[in-house]
Amino acid sequence: MSISRMLPLRISNFLFSSHNPLSISTHHPPLFLRKMSMDTQSSAARLIDSGLLRSQGLIGGKWTDAYDGKFIKVHNPATGDVIASVPCMGRRETTDAISSAYDTFNSWSKLTASERSKCLRKWYDLLIAHKEDLAKLITLEQGKPLKEALGEVSYGASFIEFYAEEAKRVYGDIIPSTLADRRLFVLKQPVGVVGAITPWNFPLAMITRKVGPALACGCTVVIKPSELTPLTALAAAELSLQAGIPPGVVNVVMGNASDIGDTLLASPQVRKITFTGSTAVGKKLMAGASGTVKKVSLELGGNAPCIVFDDADLDVAVKGALAAKFRNSGQTCVCANRILVQEGIYEKFANAFSSAVQSLQVGNGLAEGVAQGPLINVAALQKVESFIQDATSKGAKIMLGGKRHSLGRTFYEPTVLTDVDSDMRISREEVFGPVAPLLRFKTEEEAIRNAKDTNAGLAAYIFTTNMSRSWRVSEALEFGLVGINEGIISTEVAPFGGVKQSGLGREGSKYGMDEYLEIKYVCLGNMNSP
Ligand code: NAP
């Protein structure tokens, strides 16, 4: 983390509107004028609405600096340029954000479901109205190609729309009583203040997938986005205010992750922690939540098998595996981590898949036609290199790529490895990069055994034209999501989540609401007394 005590850099001027790129809004701190790189001067990087550029945290509806004046720089992973600096917050700011969420809970949870629904619907409309700007922010701070970023905005906004509708459907129950003079009821009530900690790989969607159902149920939230991608979170929070969601319902703090996390965990006012990120951090949060016995939802790392059977439609399998592996340059929790190919189709699949991978254009996500952006940082690149080094030293062969891209920095060539086996690190750990390892198998039983041979259990993919096999294998796999002849299956209307060490709970769909509700049993007794 690079922290600066100097005059805040805040938002670099290239991000401001092309209509008036150097305007200083009263809502914004002074601009730091600096020499821009050719890349960042491009009109493609300018936002239509400069009001979306927020470089402060949001506490109780007020845009706030770190109390000690510290800042974190936010970089564009494609160029290394500093885009902005945001406050490096810690315990004191988090405590205030929790207090504001706690104070607001009373009024927000008492609104009718229909009133909350209207606010959420307005927020959805604003997210969609600003989708070009939000997508640019995502590409600038995260690196994914603009087309994928636009897809993330639609996907992310869809959770707000879906839960605006679900807000009105939080039904309780009436239970037939065992005694004639009693009536038994079940009420569903919001859990209270929610701490939402999110990763960098989907800077918008991982937030809306939590905040949509939380707000719909009547909860208030303290969001902690990744320090690598805070600008999208802040823009979404700005739009939540514009949508009429009352100050204090949505709070955003960022900075020292463990201080913020520890403060959320220790506070008895926070009743729920919802986390998306690595399994290692998820385990720490789960342990930390025990002190105050909070509800916990965890969306953690994966190690997705993608199984291609001899009877697969080759074109469908290549297209599906390509999408499942190379989306966001391989940096998603549901990315195909191991591609298991049956021996009868192995050579044909490897050749067709490699030529498809070869056609992926690598570059700055803002450039037209780019399908593969940079990795998030140099550490991620080095991790990918260490996987390749381990695999090749143990007999894997590089069919395509296998080295840093000539663009330099954090760009890596889309890579296909053959002759990979289950003991190599690349098969056992989450790769999170543009490397597709191909493993060979003989029988369906062997494929299932290998696929399940991991502590993770998030997504799995099967490619086959045999319907009975598709059911048989889906049922046998220990994973929370299974795609049959499809490489991208996430949607707001279906439950998303893992088993084993990939997490607890579900996001999206009607099941996503349950994570933010408490069940209360009410017994009305002695009804026969006057
Ligand atoms: P990460 O390192 O675990 O970070 C996730 C979030 O936790 C960030 O906001 C991070 O803050 C914060 N954090 C780190 N240490 C913390 C602590 N001690 N206490 C509280 N918060 C802490 O994960 P990442 O590298 O950002 O994301 C990649 C991982 O997320 C992969 O494993 C991927 O599979 C997983 N993921 C899972 C899903 C899913 O739905 N299952 C979806 C997307 C990603 P800073 O960034 O500010 O340090």
Q: How do residues 380-419 score in pLDDT, each as one tens digit?
A: 999 999 999 999 999 999 999 999 999 999 999 999 999 9
For tokens 């006057």, name the residue: 530
Question: Could you tell me the distance, in angstroms and rounded to a whole number, from the CA of residue 234 to the centre of ligand 1?
Answer: 18
438: helix, coil or strand? strand
Active site residue 88: no
For 78-192, list the strands marked E by DSSP.
Answer: 82-87, 173-175, 183-190
Ligand 1 close to Cβ of residue 490 (< 6 A): no
Ligand 1 close to Cβ of residue 341 (< 6 A): no
Q: What is the pLDDT of residue 45?
A: 72
Rounded to whole angstroms, how far apart are CA atoms 251 and 246? 11
Ligand 1 close to Cβ of residue 198 (< 6 A): yes
Q: What is the pLDDT of residue 13?
A: 52
Quick check: 319 and 487 in contact, CB under 8 A? yes
Question: Could you tell me the distance, in angstroms and rounded to a whole number, from the CA of residue 222 to the centre of ligand 1?
Answer: 16
Rounded to whole angstroms, how far apart are CA atoms 119 and 294? 27
> Quick one: which atom of ligand 1 is closest to the CA of 496?
40
Paired residues of 518 in beta bridges? 189
Rounded to whole angstroms, how far apart are CA atoms 451 and 306? 8
Report the run of H or E that residue 273 belongs to, with start and end: strand 270-276
**Cβ-proximal residues to 9 (8 Å cutoff; 6+ apart), any chain:** 32, 34, 71, 73, 82, 84, 85
The Cα angle at residue 480 between residues 219 and 444, in degrees rounded to 5: 175
List of the chain residues with pLDDT < 70: 1-44
> Quick one: which atom of ligand 1 is closest to the CA of 200?
26
Rounded to whole angstroms, how far apart are CA atoms 359 and 401? 12
Quick check: 219 and 191 in contact, CB under 8 A? yes
| Torsion sign across C-alpha atoms 125, 131, 135, 138 | negative
Write the residue with the smallest CA distance to atom 48 of ligand 1: 257
For the chain, the farthest-separated pair of C-alpha atoms sits apart, in whole angstroms, at: 86
For tokens 């399994």, name the residue: 279
Q: What is the pLDDT of residue 8?
A: 43
pTM over 0.75: yes
Considering only CA atoms, which of 370, 302, 308 is closest in space to residue 335?
302
> Quick one: which atom of ligand 1 is closest to the CA of 277?
30
Rounded to whole angstroms, how far apart are CA atoms 447 and 9? 53
Ligand 1 close to Cβ of residue 302 (< 6 A): yes
> Quick one: which atom of ligand 1 is closest to the CA of 299?
41
C-alpha neighbours within 13 Å on the C-beta side of residue 468: 1
Share in percent of the chain as helix, strand, coil (round to 5)? 40, 20, 40
Q: What is the pLDDT of residue 529?
A: 87
Rg of the chain (C-alpha set): 24
Quick check: 165 and 500 in contact, CB under 8 A? no
Q: What is the pLDDT of residue 44?
A: 62
Ligand 1 close to Cβ of residue 261 (< 6 A): yes
Ligand 1 close to Cβ of residue 501 (< 6 A): no
Write the residue with the smallest CA distance to atom 23 of ligand 1: 277
For 138-258, list the strands marked E by DSSP.
Answer: 173-175, 183-190, 193-197, 220-224, 250-252
Q: What is the pLDDT of residue 261?
A: 98
Q: In the numeric block, which tokens belong to residue 155?
A: 């996907």
End-to-end Cα separation, the chain, in angstroms? 69
Question: Could you tell me the distance, in angstroms and rounded to a whole number, from the CA of residue 438 to the centre of ligand 1?
Answer: 27
The Cα angle at residue 468 between residues 466 and 473, in degrees rounded to 5: 95
Would you give the distance in Å from CA 152 to the centre of its chain?
10
Q: What is the pLDDT of residue 42?
A: 54
**Cβ-proximal residues to 161 (8 Å cutoff; 6+ apart), any chain:** 120, 121, 124, 492
| Each residue's pLDDT tens digit, 101-152 | 999 999 999 999 999 999 999 999 999 999 999 999 999 999 999 999 999 9
Quick check: 377 and 141 in contact, CB under 8 A? no
Ligand 1 close to Cβ of residue 197 (< 6 A): yes
Active site residue 219: no
